[in-house]
């Protein structure tokens, strides 16, 4: 039996490859083939990856390729073939499926490329290679034969998804600190021209009994998060409700992540979602744009008004973590149009607002029609748009800087009170203008493209307000100080003005020693010494109420009690 290795380079350590495990399970169950898996990350040194693979001595080496890993994989393939010319090298995945022949011509170290869905194709190819059979009739492969690049006919999509075995092992100890990906359907009912799902029409489903059985097993494994990779989880609403009901009935602390289309959520679905327990589900909703001509240009059939109303109601339930997506660089959307889309979505106050950039993926319709909108994009992965007829490169740079600050000052949730005040009171709810102005300030100070300690982000924002909006300095000092204390059990930075008296540490001990205070607020820490309790307490005075931003004629005194592990406030007491 030949040694066969399936491998890939994940974007981060916490990620895991569902594709590799599908391939391994399918080939084992349907053909008895033994395939080994080894995962790496794009952050590991190439020479270390190369050495690790070489020491496994694979006779057949298979890589799963995506936009984030294709460049280092091609480098590895080229070098590996030099030191192990007898090894058969197979590539598969979305990044090699749409230009397989040109990749083979440009990279002589590649022996075979699998196009599209890989389970059945890889099984047949491996059987042919291990049994010295012919590959000429295997659907879905491109290869080199006698120096000539060949392309066999495409393979039809697998109709019965239940024929794909459950991909994960019985012992999932290695997955406890990773995100586990799961799939209950393949395909998408929509035809957005920037997405590769538009190349496959219709949606195929794993059977509900199969999905329930899979989830029941995964829920028992102590996994932190299971992320569904279904393109539109609620495309079959009744089925989606049944799966969510099943998950609720499982005894597990695991969180579940779904991608949904908000505009198609019916009143019945919304009423159902209102009953969901808090902290169980994370929802990712792609808005992409609220500019109608842009949505029409990319064939995105989404009603922004309905989506907005449904998301607003979802927010009112307080039981979902909501992640909303925007895409910069769509047809017909100028810089100012995008500012409107940004403000429309920001007003919904999602837990995370992701500002992404259009990518001209191989095989996507929008890449084929790029000249119509004068698109300029990166020649190499990830093929990010640099400019088009409606937005220039200088404006795209501005948006990239806004994206960076959005993650620091909004998505982190570290400065919620301060950012809310600045945008609402100073910028009259124009969130885009705030981030745009802050980005200009950062650029002028030379803060971009440099590493910063977390505490400096608070300092820079206070400096920004002091410089650009000096009338608000005093209140922002209090709000930022409050935000910092709430999220960081560490020494308060010197940039903040403190109203604390000189002997306030003695004052803290007076509360710790007070029996009534201890019984009310420290009941879970009575076994700890006073010194240990003090390590996780902080007292601070404020001139403005940090929760309402209202000036107080007398100083407001607050005590903060921290979770000793997460170092964030679990209780705050006005005294």
Which CATH number does the domain housing residue 116 bear?
3.40.50.280
Q: 362-390, pLDDT tens digit by residue?
A: 999 999 999 999 999 999 999 999 999 99
Instruction: Please report, rounded to a whole number, the percentage of residues in the chain having pLDDT higher than 70.
Output: 99
**Has residue 201 got a pLDDT over 80?**
no
The predicted pLDDT at position 506 comes to 87
Domain check: are 35 and 54 in the same one?
yes
The predicted pLDDT at position 285 comes to 97
The predicted pLDDT at position 501 comes to 82
**Has residue 79 got a pLDDT over 70?**
yes
Domain check: are 259 and 281 in the same one?
yes
Does residue 14 lie in a domain region? yes
Q: Which of 37, 68, 64 is CA-nearest to residue 52?
A: 37
User: Which of 87-91, 240-244, 562-566 is the least confident region?
Assistant: 562-566
Domain check: are 109 and 82 in the same one?
yes
Residue with tokens 């307080």: 318
CA distance between the termini of the chain: 74
* Nearest-angstrom CA–CA distance, 181 and 174: 14
Q: 165-191, pLDDT tens digit by residue?
A: 999 999 999 898 889 999 999 999 988
Instruction: Please report, rounded to a whole number, the percentage of residues in the chain having pLDDT higher than 90.
Output: 91
* Nearest-angstrom CA–CA distance, 401 and 448: 8
Domain check: are 413 and 370 in the same one?
no
Quote the tokens at residue 191: 């035809």
> Which residue segment(s) compose the domain that 101 sits in?
4-151
Cα 35 → chain centroid: 29
Domain check: are 22 and 139 in the same one?
yes
Does residue 253 lie in a domain region? yes
Which residues, other chains included, contact 361 with Cβ-Cβ below 8 Å and sequence gap of 6+?
67, 94, 194, 195, 196, 367, 383
* Nearest-angstrom CA–CA distance, 187 and 199: 9
Does residue 538 lie in a domain region? yes
Overall average pLDDT of the 16-37 stretch: 96
Q: 213-255, pLDDT tens digit by residue?
A: 999 999 999 899 999 999 999 999 999 999 999 999 999 999 9
Secondary structure class of 305 (helix, strand, coil): helix
Domain check: are 354 and 377 in the same one?
yes
Does residue 161 lie in a domain region? no
Question: HSE (CB half, 13 Å, CA atoms) of 275?
Answer: 9
* Nearest-angstrom CA–CA distance, 25 and 167: 6
How many C-beta atoms surround the C-beta of residue 444 within 10 A? 9
**Distance set, CA 358 to CA 124, 333, 387, 439 (Å):** 36, 12, 10, 21
User: Which of 288-292, 473-477, 571-575 is the least confident region?
Assistant: 571-575
**Has residue 1 got a pLDDT over 70?**
no
Residue with tokens 């200009």: 440
Q: What is the DSSP string of 539-569?
A: EEEEEE-TTT--EEEEEEEEEEEE-TTT-SE
Q: 210-221, pLDDT tens digit by residue?
A: 999 999 999 999
**281-288 and 320-328 beta bridge pairing:** parallel
Domain check: are 315 and 415 in the same one?
no
For residue 105, give the DSSP letter: H
Does residue 29 lie in a domain region? yes
How many C-beta atoms surround the C-beta of residue 309 within 10 A? 15
Domain check: are 443 and 533 in the same one?
no
Domain boundary among 456, 483, 510: 483
Q: What is the mean pLDDT of the chain?
A: 95
Does residue 471 lie in a domain region? yes
**Distance set, CA 299 to CA 54, 88, 266, 302 (Å):** 46, 41, 22, 9
Does residue 490 lie in a domain region? no
pLDDT range class, residue 317, cuts 50, 70, 90: very high
Overall average pLDDT of the 191-204 stretch: 84
* Nearest-angstrom CA–CA distance, 285 and 309: 13
Q: How many structural domains comprise the chain?
A: 4
How many C-beta atoms surround the C-beta of residue 66 within 10 A? 20
* Nearest-angstrom CA–CA distance, 133 and 125: 9
Overall average pLDDT of the 318-344 stretch: 98
Domain check: are 328 and 460 in the same one?
no
Domain check: are 222 and 352 in the same one?
yes
Overall average pLDDT of the 125-141 stretch: 95
pLDDT range class, residue 494, cuts 50, 70, 90: very high
Whether 519 contacts 458, CB under 8 Å: no
Q: Which of 93, 261, 265, 254 is CA-nearest to residue 189?
A: 261
**Has residue 92 got a pLDDT over 80?**
yes
Which residues, other chains included, contact 369 with Cβ-Cβ below 8 Å and sequence gap of 6+?
193
Which CATH number does the domain housing residue 175 bear?
3.80.30.20
Q: 528-552, pLDDT tens digit by residue?
A: 999 999 999 999 999 999 999 999 9
Domain check: are 146 and 172 in the same one?
no
Domain boundary among 364, 390, 416: 390
Q: How many Å is the Cα radius of gyration of the chain?
A: 27
* Nearest-angstrom CA–CA distance, 388 and 121: 39
**60-64 and 88-92 beta bridge pairing:** parallel
What is the side-by-side order of every strand in the sheet holding 35-41?
A: 35-41, 4-10, 60-64, 88-92, 112-114, 141-145, 148-151
Domain check: are 377 and 400 in the same one?
no
**Has residue 559 got a pLDDT over 90?**
yes
* Nearest-angstrom CA–CA distance, 83 and 59: 13
Secondary structure class of 441 (helix, strand, coil): helix
Does residue 364 lie in a domain region? yes
Domain boundary among 460, 483, 506: 483
* Nearest-angstrom CA–CA distance, 94 and 317: 38
Q: 390-418, pLDDT tens digit by residue?
A: 999 999 999 999 999 999 999 999 999 99
**In what helix (H) or strand (E) does residue 281 lie, and over which residues does it extend?**
strand 281-288
């Amino acid at each position: 039996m030949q040694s066969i290795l399936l491998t890939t380079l994940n974007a981060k350590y916490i990620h895991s490859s569902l594709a590799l495990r599908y391939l391994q399970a399918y080939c084992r169950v349907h053909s008895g083939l033994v395939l080994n898996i080894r995962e790496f990350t794009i952050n590991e040194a190439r020479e270390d990856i190369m050495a690790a693979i070489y020491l496994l001595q694979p006779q057949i080496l298979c890589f799963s390729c995506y936009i984030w890993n294709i460049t280092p994989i091609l480098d590895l393939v080229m070098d590996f073939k030099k030191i192990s010319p007898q090894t058969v090298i197979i590539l598969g995945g979305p990044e090699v499926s749409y230009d397989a022949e040109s990749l083979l011509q440009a990279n002589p170290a590649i022996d075979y490329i699998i196009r599209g869905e890989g389970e059945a194709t890889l099984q047949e190819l491996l059987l042919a290679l291990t049994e010295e059979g012919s590959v000429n009739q295997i659907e879905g492969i491109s290869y080199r034969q006698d120096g000539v690049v060949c392309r066999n006919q495409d393979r039809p999509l697998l109709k019965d998804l239940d024929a794909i075995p459950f991909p994960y092992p019985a012992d999932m100890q290695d997955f406890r600190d990773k995100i586990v990906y799961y799939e209950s359907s393949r395909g998408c009912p929509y035809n957005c021209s920037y997405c590769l799902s538009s190349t496959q029409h219709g949606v195929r489903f794993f059977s509900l009994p199969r999905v329930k059985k899979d989830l029941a097993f995964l829920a028992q494994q102590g996994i932190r998060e299971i992320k569904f990779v279904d393109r539109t989880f609620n495309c079959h609403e009744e089925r989606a409700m049944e799966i969510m009901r099943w998950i609720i009935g499982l005894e597990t602390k695991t969180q579940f992540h779904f991608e949904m289309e908000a505009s198609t959520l019916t009143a019945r679905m919304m009423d159902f979602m209102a009953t969901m327990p808090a902290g169980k589900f994370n929802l990712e909703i792609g808005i992409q744009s609220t500019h109608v001509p842009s949505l029409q240009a990319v064939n995105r059939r989404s009603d922004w008004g309905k989506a907005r109303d449904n998301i607003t109601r979802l927010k009112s339930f307080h039981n979902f973590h909501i992640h909303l997506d925007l895409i910069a660089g769509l047809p017909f959307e100028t810089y100012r149009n995008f500012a409107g889309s940004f403000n429309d979505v920001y007003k919904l106050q999602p837990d995370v607002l992701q500002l992404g950039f259009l990518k001209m993926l191989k095989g996507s319709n929008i890449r084929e029609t790029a000249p119509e909108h004068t698109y300029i994009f990166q020649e190499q992965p990830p093929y990010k748009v640099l400019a088009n007829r409606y937005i220039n490169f200088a404006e795209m740079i501005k948006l990239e800087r806004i994206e960076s600050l959005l993650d620091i000052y909004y998505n982190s949730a570290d400065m919620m009170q301060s950012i809310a005040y600045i945008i609402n009171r100073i910028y009259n709810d124009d969130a885009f203008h705030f981030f745009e102005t802050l980005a200009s300030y950062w650029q002028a100070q030379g803060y971009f493209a440099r590493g910063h300690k977390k505490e400096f982000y608070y300092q820079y924002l206070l400096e920004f307000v002091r410089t650009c909006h000096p009338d608000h300095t005093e209140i922002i000092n209090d709000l930022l100080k409050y935000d910092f204390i709430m999220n960081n059990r560490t020494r308060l930075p010197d940039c903040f003005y403190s109203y604390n008296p000189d002997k306030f540490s003695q004052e803290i001990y007076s509360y710790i020693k007070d029996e009534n205070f201890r019984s009310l607020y420290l009941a879970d820490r009575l076994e700890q010494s006073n010194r240990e309790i003090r390590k996780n307490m902080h007292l601070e005075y404020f001139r403005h109420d940090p929760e309402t931003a209202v000036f107080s004629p007398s100083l407001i005194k607050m005590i903060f009690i921290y979770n000793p592990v997460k170092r964030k406030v679990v209780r705050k007491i006005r005294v």
